[in-house]
Amino acid sequence: MIRSAPDALTARPTVARWWQKGLIYQIYPLSFMDSNGNGNGDLRGIINRLDYCRWLGVDALWLSPIYPSPMVDFGYDISDFTDIHPLFGSLSDFDALISEARRLNLKVLLDYVPNHSSNQHPWFLQSRSSRKNPYRDWYVWRDPAPGGGPPNNWLGAFGGSAWEWDKITAQYYLHSYLKEQPDLNWRNPDLQQAMLEVLRFWIDRGVSGFRVDSIAHLMKDTEFRDNPMNPDWNPASGPYFRYLPIHSRDHPDTMAVIRRMRQVIDEYKDCVIIGEAYLSLERTVAYYGAGVHLPFNFALITSPWTARDLHRIIRSYEALLGPDQWPNWVLGNHDRHRIATRVGRDQARVAAMLLLTLRGTPTLYYGDEIAMQDVPIPGELVKDPWEINVPSLGLGRDPERSPMQWDSTHHAGFSTATPWLPVASDFKRFNVAMETQEADSILNLYRRLIALRAENPALHRGPYGELLCDDHVVSYSRHSEGQRFLIVLNFTGEPRTFEDGGLHGRIILTTALDRTNEPITEKLRLGADEGVIIEIDHQTFKQP
Ligand code: NOJ
């Protein structure tokens, strides 16, 4: 067993804010619940399922974009930042969602997409109409390179150059994603003001914060220098990584812009700002410095799923955090393959226990709580532009966006019409109605874990004690006010034994939802893919 010095992991401030104690549940609105029988999820559908969210024990719902959009990137191409796409409903449906959520003590967070708009946004239509138009500078326009062609070698994340030639005014515009998603120019003060107003608009309407999309892309190199070749490029990761995006992403000037967002957020009480960027842990934590409350920590998604790797990321993340920087952990989202596919359904239970017992705010992707898996999408049904542009590398994101599996009826109770993406073929076995009834389902495991975390300060705010690992098992303790839990997780499909001379306690919860109250002394047997939470006896409780 490797032992980590506890002092690096302890002595943390206590938790005061709801977003530190609470669990964030991500809803992908198109796929959550369809209320009007057109095959697409909508706001009324979400309202109809708020009781479920409450029952599960989540504290805040983060909705992926619900704004007017041509839907080329399924809502991340926004043509009006302050309205609702008719597919999802109206502003009055949104108001109803806020008030119903409030009644149930649920917060609502929105996706804020500041890096780009749709190419159908009126600002862009103006901007492209003439070089003299007042909106011209709200986007990033450049002349061709001296020898012709795009101004530099920057690539769009979903394939091809990041520059699109626009013959109306004979210049290129920048798009870090699709050509239908032109980048906004955050160096322009009017654009900044307009985008900051968007935050106020939604907070005034009752939201409790934002997940900020592509936060590291906002500012770019002022000289638009070429990105260098990536010496470690693996073509299987997709063409975007052929170059290291050092001039087009994570630019130092980004921090000042985020500080402006934070100032707006701070005009209000208790709003949270969450940042989305796939960066190293070192660079991720740098965004705390700009005022992001929770820069998403994607290490559980991007790191190999082994005891040693997970131990390493927990340690190094904790070592990077400053005293006022609150951690967070994410198991899945609408851009990455589902956890129950990545590690298998049995191991997904261990992942659940890990997510809910680590120090920091957990984010849970809809459907992971019932062990939904990726749904293979036949070629003719592919919707995601990434899969269309860069096919067959497994980059497409449709599989993890399949409709929520509510029950065993037609279309899994998601819709009365054919859903926009296919429902999983095993939905009759894995769905909310079924798993609610099964005492030992993963859904009931999630519910128990969420409740345990909420009820016990040791779990929602206590520091770590020792963090141990070998090739198969990770264990850590969490403590607060005389209470101490030991969490022991077997990351393999083989039974293992965990030994600790000082261990005396009783089992509170296992991933199989059995063995409750079993006394444990010195030695713990772990089944294959088993995780265990032990409450340590008071008498043997040692302050680390
Ligand atoms: C990150 C979002 O999560 C993803 O779905 C989207 O395609 C890109 N940003 C562009 O907005």
Residue 224 exposed, middle or buried by CB count within 10 Å (0-12, 13-18, 19+): middle
Closest CA to 75 of 117, 25, 124, 125: 117
The parts of the chain modelled with pLDDT lower than 50 are 6-8, 10-11, 13, 543-544
Pocket probe mutation, ligand 1, options 30, 72, 214, 389, max atoms within 8 Å of Cβ: 214
Pairing of strands 141-142, 171-174: antiparallel
The CA R_g of the chain, rounded to the nearest whole Å, is 24
Spatial separation of the C-alpha atoms in residues 134 and 168, rounded to whole Å: 16
- Whether residue 424 contacts residue 384, with contact meaning beta carbons closer than 8 Å, is answered with no
What CA dihedral angle connects 111, 113, 114 and 118, to 10 degrees?
-150
- What's the pLDDT at 544? 45
Pocket probe mutation, ligand 1, options 177, 217, 276, 398, max atoms within 8 Å of Cβ: 177
Spatial separation of the C-alpha atoms in residues 218 and 310, rounded to whole Å: 31
- What's the pLDDT at 6? 47
- What's the pLDDT at 93? 98
- What's the pLDDT at 283? 98
CA of 211 to the centre of ligand 1 (A): 11
Spatial separation of the C-alpha atoms in residues 254 and 186, rounded to whole Å: 9
Give 205-241 as a 3 state SS string. CCCCEEEECCHHHCCCCCCCCCCCECCCCCHHHCHHH
User: How far is CA 155 from its chain centroid?
Assistant: 24
Q: Which of 34, 42, 213, 398 is catalytic?
A: 213
Spatial separation of the C-alpha atoms in residues 448 and 391, rounded to whole Å: 40
Closest CA to 425 of 446, 441, 408: 408
Q: Which residue has the tokens 């707006």?
A: 264
Helix, strand counts (H, E) of the chain = 16, 18
Structure tokens at 250: 């994570």
- What's the pLDDT at 528? 98
CA of 503 to the centre of ligand 1 (A): 46
- What's the pLDDT at 366? 99
Closest atom of ligand 1 to 214 CA is 9
Q: Which of 190, 267, 282, 481 is catalytic?
A: 267
Residue 6 exposed, middle or buried by CB count within 10 Å (0-12, 13-18, 19+): middle
Q: Which residue has the tokens 């804020």?
A: 112
Q: How many CA atoms lie within 13 A of 200 on its CB side?
A: 10
CA-closest residue to ligand 1 atom 10: 76
CA-closest residue to ligand 1 atom 2: 213
Closest CA to 365 of 416, 313, 396, 329: 329
Closest atom of ligand 1 to 77 CA is 11
Ligand 1 contacts (CB < 6 A) are 73, 76, 113, 177, 213-214, 276, 334-335
Enumerate the β-bridge partners of residue 171: 166
What is residue 419's three-state secondary structure?
coil
Q: Output the DSSP codes for 6-55.
A: GGGT---PPP-SHHHHS-EEEE-GGGT--SSSSSS--HHHHHHTHHHHHH
Closest atom of ligand 1 to 333 CA is 3
What is residue 180's three-state secondary structure?
coil
Q: Output the DSSP codes for 336-380.
A: S--HHHHT-HHHHHHHHHHHHHSSSEEEEETTGGGT-------GG
Task: Identify whether 471 is a catalytic site residue.
Answer: no
Task: Identify whether 213 is a catalytic site residue.
Answer: yes
- What's the pLDDT at 7? 45
Spatial separation of the C-alpha atoms in residues 306 and 474, rounded to whole Å: 9
CA of 73 to the centre of ligand 1 (A): 8
What is residue 267's three-state secondary structure?
coil
Closest atom of ligand 1 to 397 CA is 5
- Whether residue 424 contacts residue 418, with contact meaning beta carbons closer than 8 Å, is answered with no
Spatial separation of the C-alpha atoms in residues 536 and 420, rounded to whole Å: 49
pTM as predicted: 0.96
Closest CA to 461 of 147, 15, 105, 24: 15
CA of 146 to the centre of ligand 1 (A): 32
Structure tokens at 274: 């969450």
Structure tokens at 384: 């995601």
CA of 67 to the centre of ligand 1 (A): 14
CA of 31 to the centre of ligand 1 (A): 16
CA of 213 to the centre of ligand 1 (A): 6
Closest atom of ligand 1 to 76 CA is 11
What CA dihedral angle connects 502, 505, 508 and 513, to 10 degrees?
80
Instruction: Give the other-Cβ count within 10 Å of 346's Cβ.
Output: 17
CA 264, 268, 274 angle in degrees (round to 5)? 65
